[in-house]
Structure 1
């Protein structure tokens, strides 16, 4: 084992790998800091370039982009009150008030330190939990996979914004579009054109759903103050301030690990959950939302704590933990690596190299953040007239370069309009996209399990793993219904008052 680790370390510590990770971190931070550009877009646009790279180098590049963009989103959230990604939405609550008080630099440093700690703990969790989970996965068959998919979809719907109904509608719409094309038995659904027979690709759907609506929002709902960079001001983070937030950082990191390891949850939910817990337990709870460093620490440690954890179900089960790892799943397949239990048997050296590279990237993230904080304050003020066409051009180029298909570009534009309509109607896009990605696996394992049992639905309740997931589904659905009922009673009481 030690020889394998030494060989993996020597293989990762090459100039090419370090340059790939460094470039990925810097590009990710830049993209995350620019409103309208997301980590999902960054990873997807980089996917075609990985065709010409060695397997581990290409995966490390995508992971570095993921980590960099997750942190970078906090920069625009703090400086111009515009989160680069949904996972930085909580950072706005306290980051923007701190910036208005002339403490933007202090807020950015807290975001960086919290992100790096959360990322490091997430990587440690990946190393120790991925292999045992892979052994457990050997006992998982189509019925268990179906219950896992059902649990992931239930969790996504239950945490999607303020309306359970809208979350369910969004997820059902995603499942519907996931059926476009050929099924496992050779039948075609919704194949109105020849191109639709092969189904809708993930890349144009996800970029169209997340990137283009933000561009349309920037164009149609302009703010007079948008684009003005906030001065960094006081940037010294004292030891007392760090120690006061350390408890929330550690707790947020583990919340990110737990929720990130559950397929379909992702960093946005982890950030909000961690922020809520920090606010509930903090002695400074009344300052939350008014400029509290602990709020930034809780949010950023949790969303970065998801980065390594979302790789746990991907590597161990072959199930993407979130949208970005769904794109990474394609990168693994392109490089001839099949995520799942057999990955630890057939490609153990590559797994060790990936683990060591991810630890390196945590160090690089801290260095990149420290070196470029002031520089990114100017990037956040890029004029909209320049930002919008550049982002749109990158989106169209990235999609077209994947398969040279104008149909994919059409899907990109159509999904941009659909995403903008969802934005106007407050329909959360996350349940849609997770359902769209997990939909084929959800359907295929359902049909395989029923084929094995000759149509007997009791096959889904014949193992302990299936019962565990069934219990979790009932538990979280019950919690969601209880929350919705309490919200209904509070609204009714407010109207009667």
Structure 2
């Protein structure tokens, strides 16, 4: 393996391949930072370009764009609460409040460090543990995937605020996820005769509407709409911050890799689950949503680690672990290659060049991101009366470019108004996203599981892995209900004790 890694490094440092790698990073940074342009879109757009390239350069290009776009989504998420990619949705919850408090540089530094750390951890796992981890993923079937989706939905119990409103948000998201053609029976559901809704509601207009458009509407309502022109000083390696987030980085990176390896789950789910775990492990969960450092570190470490983990089943089994890896799988087939166990042994030069390239890309994040963000952050000097329309235009263009459908633009604007109104009652918008992201997974795997057991729900508790995940989910929700009751009783006892002592 060491010899193969050295061979891969020698391939990567060839001038042409190094130029391809740096170009891919730049493209990924730009595309990921623009709301609505995700790694999927970038890879699709550049897929025809790879036809005339050799296989090594082609897959270095596609995988490097994927890795760098997952990172750069945090930039606009932190600065403007307009996630550049779906993976950066959770980052906005604490990253944007830090910007509002004048700590944008700190938030960006945490995001850069966490992204690079998670990406490096994910790449190392990808290199050294692909066969082992792919074997673990093979043990997951429909009941386990359903249980994992339920565990992800239980994150709503840890997001703070009103649990009832959170559950209502999840249910709303689950409803949105059912719109369109039933994936198992082909039945048309909740389209109300609109042909454009038959394919379902894309995640991009939902995310951009709820987060970006609603924020523009909210900012336009404020009297002072001009962002203060401040120079952002980004500090990546701050000892105090590193001590604060080190356990979160380790936990979220490992969790992200494990979730990323599971086919079809994705980096967005990894970010959500890791954020929930960061809240659960925190000594003071009330800080989250108000600018907690761990709230930025957890999703960024997890989504970058998961992006690398999603490549494990692709290379080892020929099974795409995410939407982007599904497109990369198609690119392999176009180039006459079939990923799988035999592919691992017959194409070592290509595989290890890609592995080394990904490792370099994640390290380059630490070096290139600061000057790139410095240029992008100049937008803070623009009055919001001018910046707001620019953001809206970018959101419209990005949303339309996903499917070239004007219906998506109207949906985005509609969700923006809904998000603006819901925020007035402190409704947790991220709970809606949870439902939309995890709804299709939960529904399809639930129905497949019941089909496997001929309608017997005991299949979920008869299988050890799924039973364990469900018990954890139920226990965490129950604990979130009991914890405030215990806290109130403690406060009441302390108040009585203090009054008695007085």
Once the two structures are TM-superposed, the CA of residue 173 in structure 1 deviates from its matched residue by 0.9
Q: Distance in 1 between matches of 2:298 and 2:458?
A: 38
CA-based RMSD of the aligned residues comes to: 4.2
Q: Distance in 1 between matches of 2:245 and 2:121?
A: 10
Q: Which residue of 2 aligns with 1:345?
A: 341
Q: Distance in 1 between matches of 2:150 and 2:93?
A: 27
Once the two structures are TM-superposed, the CA of residue 366 in structure 1 deviates from its matched residue by 1.7
- Whether 1:254 and 2:258 are equivalent positions in the alignment is no
Q: Distance in 2 between matches of 1:448 and 1:359?
A: 37
Q: Distance in 2 between matches of 1:249 and 1:396?
A: 36
Alignment of 1:113-132 (within 5 A): 113=113, 116-117=116-117, 119-125=119-125, 127-128=127-128, 131-132=131-132
Q: Distance in 1 between matches of 2:68 and 2:100?
A: 26
The change in CA–CA distance for 1:206 and 1:53 in structure 2 (over 3 A counts) is farther
- Whether 1:476 and 2:476 are equivalent positions in the alignment is yes
Answer whether contact 2:134 2:313 (CA < 8 A) is retained.
yes
The change in CA–CA distance for 1:328 and 1:219 in structure 2 (over 3 A counts) is farther
Q: Distance in 1 between matches of 2:143 and 2:282?
A: 38
Answer whether contact 1:157 1:168 (CA < 8 A) is retained.
yes
Q: Distance in 2 between matches of 1:327 and 1:220?
A: 37
- Whether 1:64 and 2:68 are equivalent positions in the alignment is yes
TM-score by length of 2: 0.74
Q: Distance in 1 between matches of 2:392 and 2:295?
A: 29
Q: Distance in 2 between matches of 1:125 and 1:457?
A: 35
Alignment of 1:16-27 (within 5 A): 16-25=20-29
**SS at the partner of 1:186?**
coil
**SS at the partner of 2:198?**
helix
Once the two structures are TM-superposed, the CA of residue 387 in structure 1 deviates from its matched residue by 2.0
Answer whether contact 1:227 1:382 (CA < 8 A) is retained.
yes
Q: Distance in 1 between matches of 2:156 and 2:449?
A: 24
Alignment of 1:232-311 (within 5 A): 242-260=238-256, 261-262=258-259, 266-267=270-271, 270=274, 296=293, 298=294, 300-311=296-307
The change in CA–CA distance for 1:209 and 1:115 in structure 2 (over 3 A counts) is same
Q: Which residue of 2 aligns with 1:387?
A: 387
- Whether 1:218 and 2:219 are equivalent positions in the alignment is yes
Alignment of 1:187-226 (within 5 A): 187-191=187-191, 192-223=193-224, 226=226
Once the two structures are TM-superposed, the CA of residue 369 in structure 1 deviates from its matched residue by 3.3
Q: Which residue of 2 aligns with 1:429?
A: 429
TM-score by length of 1: 0.74
Q: Distance in 2 between matches of 1:440 and 1:108?
A: 32
Once the two structures are TM-superposed, the CA of residue 254 in structure 1 deviates from its matched residue by 1.0
Answer whether contact 1:216 1:420 (CA < 8 A) is retained.
yes
**SS at the partner of 2:139?**
coil
Once the two structures are TM-superposed, the CA of residue 273 in structure 1 deviates from its matched residue by 6.4
Cα offsets for 1:33-54 (capped at 9, x unmatched): xxxx65x655466465244344
Q: Distance in 1 between matches of 2:282 and 2:453?
A: 47
**SS at the partner of 2:458?**
helix
Once the two structures are TM-superposed, the CA of residue 114 in structure 1 deviates from its matched residue by 5.9
Once the two structures are TM-superposed, the CA of residue 299 in structure 1 deviates from its matched residue by 5.3
**Which runs of no fewer than 5 residues in structure 2 stay unpaired?**
51-57, 82-87, 260-264, 315-320
The change in CA–CA distance for 1:334 and 1:203 in structure 2 (over 3 A counts) is farther
Q: Distance in 1 between matches of 2:282 and 2:148?
A: 29
Q: Which residue of 2 aligns with 1:145?
A: 145
Residue-pair matches, total: 452
**SS at the partner of 1:227?**
coil
Q: Distance in 2 between matches of 1:159 and 1:105?
A: 27
**Which runs of no fewer than 5 residues in structure 1 stay unpaired?**
32-36, 78-83, 281-287, 319-324
